[in-house]
């Protein structure tokens, strides 16, 4: 396996908020996306997500609680939890989707 320069890979992503799968690790998907400041509507997933901000910041509303995730910080969203990206989220985000038993 080759190394992946995450900052460069995120900058090269054509469409903001469209994640790209970098690797599969067992049943987990490791994804990368570029945030551009726009808010996103409420969503939930059948899998848990671990959100790691590589640079910039993620403004999130998760289960009714406002959360700011900064560079080098991660936040876990449990499967089924409603969450929405708030305005002002910019930078690069690494997502690990982990199916829960």
Mean per-residue pLDDT, 39-54: 95
pTM: 0.91
Task: Give CA–CA dist 77/49, Å, rounded.
Answer: 5
Distance (Å, rounded) from C-alpha 21 to C-alpha 46? 17
Mean pLDDT of the chain: 93
- For a pLDDT cut of 90, what percent of the chain falls above it? 90
pLDDT recorded at residue 100: 72
pLDDT at 53: 97
For residue 84, what are the CA distances in angstroms to 25, 41, 49, 79? 26, 5, 13, 14
Architecture of domain 6-98: Sandwich (2.60)
Task: Express each pLDDT in 1-26 by its tens digit.
Answer: 689 999 889 989 999 999 999 999 99
Sorted by where each begins, the domain ranges of the chain are 6-98
């Amino acid at each position: 396996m080759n190394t992946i320069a995450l900052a460069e890979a995120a900058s090269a992503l054509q469409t903001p908020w469209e994640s790209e799968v970098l690797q599969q690790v067992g049943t987990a998907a490791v994804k990368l996306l570029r945030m551009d400041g726009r808010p996103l509507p409420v969503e939930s997933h059948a899998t848990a997500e671990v959100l790691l901000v590589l640079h910039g910041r993620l403004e999130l509303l998760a289960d009714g609680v406002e959360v700011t995730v900064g560079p080098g910080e991660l936040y876990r969203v449990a499967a089924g939890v409603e969450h929405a990206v708030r305005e002002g989220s910019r930078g690069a985000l690494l997502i690990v989707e982990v199916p829960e038993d």
